[in-house]
Each structure stands twice: as structure tokens, then as C-alpha cells.
Structure 1
Amino acid sequence: MTTFVVIVYIIVYLSMLLGGIPGLRVDRTGAALLGAIALLAVGNISEQNALASIDVPTLALLFGLMVVSAQFQLGGFYGIATKRVVAQDMSPPALLAVVISLTGAFSALLTNDVVCLAVAPLLSHLCIEKKLNPVPYLLALACAANIGSATTLIGNPQNILIGEALKVPFNGYLLIALPPCLLGLLIVWGIIVSLYRGKWHFETEASLENTEIEFDRWQTFKGILVLTLLIACFIFTAWPRELLALGAAGILMLSRKFHSRKIMGLVDWSLLVLFISLFIVNKAFQLTGGMDWLVAQTKSAGIPLDQPAPLFISTVILGNLVSNVPAIMLLLPIVKGSDVGPLLALSSSLAGNLIIVGSVANIIVVESARQAGIKIDFKTHARVGIPVTLVTLSVTGAWLWLVSLFS
């Protein structure tokens, strides 16, 4: 193996673990990009191999779905849905159930990060306005977003990557993932209700700024129509998912209301750059024989990643060490076949609830709460996140074992 490639590879994934390069204002995306640039500049990977390593269908599908999500955000859909739910006269546990259900459904179709980004500020505002303790509802938002996103192959970036890289059928995955995810949402409700019994109300004189975007009925209807057609095509046709998503994005960008610059501003370009950079870094490492060496080392250590149980546990651990997307990028060159797709997608998504840095959705919710003056620290999140993760992963592991017996 080329020493420089190995050093860059270690530094990049160490940066994924630390959240960036210590001492510098360089985040995970910046570290991955610098790693890819270094490998190209030194010549450890050719331009041709670097370009060939980039999974264009995955990036196209991710980009298209980001534009679809932007349509709902700009149309004020998340805001009006949250406002109408919280405005209902119902008990706190009943309201929690509705928040969890809607968050899970939205996250399955519109990606969990976008849902949390749009809903968290308004949910905080509405809870304080109604003298409700916002913490259990915000924790429910984060947990339900991670679990709901695991339901489909378009619910989060790592699922999109897994679906495209391993050619996992959309319908086949949905049938496997739906039961444990529905049960997972119920588990979230049960754990939060038991922990926050008698702590639902919140007395404060604070008045938060309303960040709700004005609701546009036509633009929301347009988004719903395009998304419905897109999901129908995913389910009932064998057309390439990435082309369908790009087509949906193109239709939504033909707008007299929303400037294309505004839509593009809601696309997570940083995430797309992270994908591209890690594709190049991983390919360079693979070309040096690094992946083969890693597989041999894990086997000699008694961790056969070609077996379901070790792979399930390794995905959970890696997801919380280096974050979901880098963990999946690390594992995909090692695993083979579409059969492991559900295992990777479910374990990586559900593991995101364990600690705050386990998923971007958690970080978004916690940061939004901080800006609103609501404290959700590591301990507060862990009281919910750890039991939710352990129980949902146990249920999912048992379910996948049952499915394997009858497949």
C-alpha cells in the first residue's frame, strides 16, 4: 500500500470522528475535500479513476430529492402542518403521538434533515406559546425523523447511497423496513411518555420570533402532486430512480413563484461535496489494496463482516463514531449483494438516535433548540436516545433474523 494514501485515509476518517480537523475551522466535508485534493495533487489517484469513482446516480438522486424537499419548505407546508397540529386541543401524550407520526411520515419521503430543519424552530415557538415543555417534543422530532427516514430508500442520504450502490429494490426494502420502523415510532412515544410524565408543562415569559414561512396553497399542491407521482413511479416502474428524481426536480424548478437561486440555496451542497470527496478517498485506498487488508484484519480479529450479526453491530458502532454517511462509505466496498442493503440501512439509521452527534438530524434539532434558549444537552438527549436506540435495534435485529429464515 502507498504510505501517503494510508495516511490521508486515516486522517480523513479520524476527522469524521472528531467532527473536523482539530485546531482548524475545517469540518468533516472540508477534511474529506482536502484529502481528495491531496491524493489528486500527489498523483496517488488519476483524474480518470477519481471521476470513475464518483457514483453519479447516487448524487443525482440525492440532488433531485433535495429540490423536491425545498419545494415543500418554500411553500410553507411544514409550517402550516406543524401549526395546525399543535393548535389542536388534545392531551400532551396525544399531541406527542401526532408529532411522532407526522415526523416519521414526512421523513420517509422528504429526508429527515430537511424535516428537522424546517419543523424544529416552529415547534419550539408553538410549544412555548402554549406553555408546553418543548424538550420532549423536540426529542421526539429527532428520534422520529431518524426512524421514519429508515422506512424508505429515500429517507436519508445513507439510504440513498445504499439503495443505489447495492441496487436494492425500492418495494422490497419498504416491505422489510416498514414493520420495525412503525414499531420503532411507537417505542419512541412510549419511552418519552414514561420519562416526561408530569413534566409536560413549561412556564416562561419568553417570546420567540415566529419563523414560519407564509403558506402557499398552490406551490404545496404542486409539490404533493410531483412527490406522489415520483413515489408511484418508484413503486410501480423499473425506471432509474435518479432520472425520475431529476425529472421531478426539473418540473418543480419551472416556477413563476420561486426563483431557481432560492431553490438552489436549500440544496445541501456541503453534503454532495462530502459524498464526492469520500468516493475519491475510498477509491484511492481501495486501489492500493487497503480494503482487502481491512477485510483480512477484521476477519483475523474475529469480526467477519460478511456475516449479518457482526456487520449489524459494526455499522451501529461506526455510525456513531464517524457519522452515518462516512460509516456507510467505509463499509460499502467491503460488503456484497443487495441482500445486505436492509441491514445496513436500518442499522445505520436507527443507530443515529444513540447520541447527539449520531445523526445530522439530532444536531439540527439541538442547535435549533439552543437558538431558542432551550437546553438539550448530552445527558438530556441520552436519557431518551439510548433506550430508544437499544430497543429499536433489538426489535429490528430480531425482525431481520426472522425475515432471513423465510427468505
Structure 2
Amino acid sequence: MDLTLLIFFLVYLAMGLGSLPFFRVGRTGAAVIGGMAMLTIGSITPQQAWNAIDYSTMGMLFGLMVVSAAFVVSGFYGWLARKAASSNVSERALLAILIVVGGVMAAFLTNDVVAVSMCPLLLSITLARGLNPVPFLLGFCFAANTGASGTIIGSPQNIIAAQKLNLSFAGVSEITAVPALLSLPVIWLVITYLYRDRWKLAMPSTDGNGAAGATEPPPFSVGETLKAAITAFVVVVAFVFSDWPRETVALTAAGVLLLSRRVSSKSLLHEVDGELILLIMGLFVVNAGLSATGLPQQFVTYLAAEGINLNNPTALFLISSVVSDLVGNNPAVMMLVPYLHVGGDANYLGAALSLGTHFSSNLVVFGSLAGIIMVEQAKDRGVKISGAEFSKAGVLVTAATMIIAVVWLLI
């Protein structure tokens, strides 16, 4: 048991810090190594490890990643970014446009994919216009995180929770949509206040890696974008109105999009976040290894005895918020979901978990993959966003949006 606990602790330490101390092992590597270590020391059998990896969750996640990737290779993201950033509007209006775009896109196309696709484009366009890219990147990132809470397909952690808790698409959105929408003007107010005198670049360029370092997006194809949009619409309709297994719906949509005469399947699959899939598979095994010890169940029982009930939506919202900022939102959901007893309040629990992990993820850079992606891609192009600068805006955004969410859950 001691070795099992040590492996679990080291894996989640890497989740929080971004890497394993003293080793060049990132989050995905730590999850994969941890899963293999659980097998090696006998914490879990090979069959139990395979059973721990929820195939329906992985199938739904992969299928939706392919749907999102279709908008990337069709050039839609690039076209949308250029349209938004080249519009003849003030900096404040441009920020508002990007926040709305980020929030709405993330709700239906998963926030991590949206962040990966849009951040390089926003960097290139803002630098070319002589604008300080930081407020626009922060606003877009914050909006992608909070907007993703609006649907069960807005992020990988929502997909995991939806499959495990058998959540209703419409039932969860009925609760989360309002706070998700209200979060967008809050983000705009905070960013415009903090950067009211810093819209322009102090110098014409950064270190030479700015706009020139950005990858040219694919050319815009109306036909391929229309195909992706129709497929995405059908997926959402099927999620809301049919009883078909969600993983089957998502994988069927992926198959339709991969079968194309104009777009190669290789280019679509290239946009799928294979590292995230491996990370989640590894964490399934690591969590199952810890669960086999019986300690998590004892801890949940202890919390209940102390009056902290994970199955209370408000308590779950607060606990998931804290855990999310310690280890990241995807690992946080994977830690908590197995100990939720779903019943008539399943959608409320799912909504509380979604709002807690999304709204708190703007507090620190490593609170979400979208935040990590944005900061790393900005650094690669010579734009530094320190943890302190991220959190300076993130603290205000997180505090205000979480108050909105708590009030909404209570009423």
C-alpha cells in the first residue's frame, strides 16, 4: 500500500507542477509511467487496468476531438480569427468579440482544441497590428474556460463526467448556461480595467519570433466548414434528443469526417491531442490502483462524518474548485467522479462539478490545459506571460465568476 500511495502522490504532484521534480517527465509521461508502475508492483492486475480505462469516455473524447479538428483543417478557425482581429473596431470592442468567440466556440468544440488552434493566430494578428497580445490572449483563454462549462462537450473533464454520471446534455446546460454566459462580461470588465493603459506594444515587435513565428493556418474552405458544421449540429441534436450511446454518436461523426475526398485523414488525426488521450488513460489506471487500497472510500466516509458531503452540489462545487487548482481540472474530475452517488440530482452534481472546475481554472496557469497551452505558445513566439500576470487577472475573474456560480446553484 505504501508504494501505491507513493506512486499516486508522485503522479499527482506532476499534475500540479507540470513535471516530475528532478526529471524531464511531463504530465502525460507521469500518468503513463504511474499506470505502468501500478501494474509492476501489483496494485492492480492487467485485466483490472484494462477495465479501468472507460472505453465509452475515450471513444466520445476521441470522436469529438476529430469533429473539432475538422474546423481546424477547413481553415474556419483561421478565417474567424482574421475576421475578428481585422475588424475596424476599438481595442475594447475587439476584446469583447474575442471573448464571445472563445466562450461560444469552447462550449461546442472543446476548450483545449480551441486554445491550441486560436492562440497562434491571435498572437500573429495582434502583433501585426502593434497591439499588446497579453490582454487578448488572457481574455480569450478565460472565456474558453468558463464558456466550456455551458455544455457537457465543452471540455474533456465534462465529457468524462457526462459519461460516468450519465448526464443529460439539456439538463446540465439548463443549469450551467446562465453562469457561463454571465462570466463573459465579467472577464471583459476585469481585462479592460487592468489593461486600460496597456493596449499597445511598447516596441514594434518582441524578440523577432512574434508574427513571423506563427504557423500559417490552412486556407478557408466553405465546403469543408459546412460539412464540419452540419456534423457537429447532428451530434448535438443526437446528444439531446436520442438515446443512442454518446460514444457511438461521436465515433460515427468522426468516421464521416475522416472519409473525405478533399481532406486527408492524416491531417485530421494530426490535430487530435494524443497526449491528452494517453494522460487520461494513464490516470484511469493510477486512480484504479489507489481505489483498490480502499483509502479513497474511507476518506469520503470520513468527510461525510465531518459534515462534508461530496454529493451536495454546493460542497462539490467548492471542493472541486480547490482540487482543480492543485492538480488541474481533468485530473480533479477523474479523482472525484468515482465517489459521487448519482440519483435524481445527477445533473445538478454534474453542473456543480463543471462550474467548479472551469471557473476556478482561471486562478493559476496550470489550473487548465487551455492556460498552459496559451502561456507556452506565447512563450514560443517571444511573448512572456508570467504566472503572476496570469493570476493578477485570474484572481479577480475567478472570484467574481465563482460568486455568480454559487449564487446560481443555491437558487
When normalised by structure 1's length, the TM-score is 0.94
The answer to whether residue 224 in structure 2 is matched with residue 224 in structure 1 is no
**Which one-letter code corresponds to 2:276 in the other structure?**
L
**Which one-letter code corresponds to 1:363 in the other structure?**
I
SS in 1 for 2:211: coil
SS in 2 for 1:212: coil
**Retained in 2: the 8 A contact 1:83–1:126?**
yes
Counterpart in the other structure of 1:258: 263
- Which among 283, 308, 332 is matched to residue 278 of structure 1? 283
Deviation of residue 270 (structure 1)?
1.3
Q: CA offsets per residue over residues 290-345 of structure 1, 9 Å max, x none?
A: 22222134346664433333322211111011111111111112222124111011
- Which among 336, 341, 363 is matched to residue 372 of structure 2? 363
1:104-253 equivalences in 2 (<5 Å): 104-206=103-205, 208-209=211-212, 210-213=214-217, 214-253=219-258
Counterpart in the other structure of 1:373: 382
What is the alpha-carbon distance in structure 2 between the residues aligned to residue 13 and residue 128 of structure 1? Answer: 37
1:39-78 equivalences in 2 (<5 Å): 39-78=38-77
**Retained in 2: the 8 A contact 1:291–1:333?**
no
Counterpart in the other structure of 2:23: 24
**Which one-letter code corresponds to 2:106 in the other structure?**
S
Seen in structure 2, the aligned counterparts of structure 1 residues 45 and 304 have a Cα distance that, compared at 3 Å, is: same
What is the alpha-carbon distance in structure 2 between the residues aligned to residue 363 and residue 16 of structure 1? Answer: 12
**Retained in 1: the 8 A contact 2:130–2:204?**
no
Greater mean alpha carbon deviation, residues 96-105 or residues 284-293: 284-293
1:77-92 equivalences in 2 (<5 Å): 77-92=76-91
What is the alpha-carbon distance in structure 2 between the residues aligned to residue 223 and residue 363 of structure 1? Answer: 27
- Which among 325, 340, 354 is matched to residue 349 of structure 2? 340
**Which one-letter code corresponds to 2:64 in the other structure?**
L
Gaps of 5+ in 2: none
What is the alpha-carbon distance in structure 2 between the residues aligned to residue 16 and residue 86 of structure 1? Answer: 34
Counterpart in the other structure of 2:363: 354
What is the alpha-carbon distance in structure 2 between the residues aligned to residue 129 and residue 342 of structure 1? Answer: 40
Q: Quote the sequence identity (%).
A: 39
What is the alpha-carbon distance in structure 1 between the residues aligned to residue 16 and residue 194 of structure 2? Answer: 30
What is the alpha-carbon distance in structure 1 between the residues aligned to residue 202 and residue 177 of structure 2? Answer: 38
**Retained in 2: the 8 A contact 1:128–1:204?**
no
What is the alpha-carbon distance in structure 1 between the residues aligned to residue 220 and residue 377 of structure 2? Answer: 21
Greater mean alpha carbon deviation, residues 15-24 or residues 111-120: 15-24
**Retained in 1: the 8 A contact 2:359–2:398?**
yes
SS in 1 for 2:150: coil
1:288-299 equivalences in 2 (<5 Å): 288-299=293-304
Q: CA offsets per residue over residues 104-132 of structure 1, 9 Å max, x none?
A: 11111111111111111111111122222
Q: CA offsets per residue over residues 71-116 of structure 1, 9 Å max, x none?
A: 1111111110010111111111111111111111111111111111
**Which one-letter code corresponds to 2:263 in the other structure?**
F
Segments ≥4 residues shifted beyond 6 Å: none
What is the alpha-carbon distance in structure 1 between the residues aligned to residue 381 and residue 109 of structure 2? Answer: 25
Counterpart in the other structure of 1:15: 14
**Retained in 2: the 8 A contact 1:116–1:145?**
yes
Greater mean alpha carbon deviation, residues 45-54 or residues 204-213: 204-213
When normalised by structure 2's length, the TM-score is 0.93
SS in 2 for 1:393: helix
What is the alpha-carbon distance in structure 2 between the residues aligned to residue 380 and residue 304 of structure 1? Answer: 35
Counterpart in the other structure of 1:405: none
Greater mean alpha carbon deviation, residues 276-285 or residues 208-217: 208-217
**Retained in 2: the 8 A contact 1:60–1:245?**
yes
Q: CA offsets per residue over residues 176-212 of structure 1, 9 Å max, x none?
A: 1110010001110111112222322225333622533
**Retained in 2: the 8 A contact 1:103–1:144?**
yes
What is the alpha-carbon distance in structure 2 between the residues aligned to residue 86 and residue 3 of structure 1? Answer: 54
**Which one-letter code corresponds to 2:216 in the other structure?**
E
Counterpart in the other structure of 2:408: 399
What is the alpha-carbon distance in structure 2 between the residues aligned to residue 219 and residue 306 of structure 1? Answer: 44
SS in 1 for 2:201: coil
What is the alpha-carbon distance in structure 1 between the residues aligned to residue 68 and residue 84 of structure 2? Answer: 20
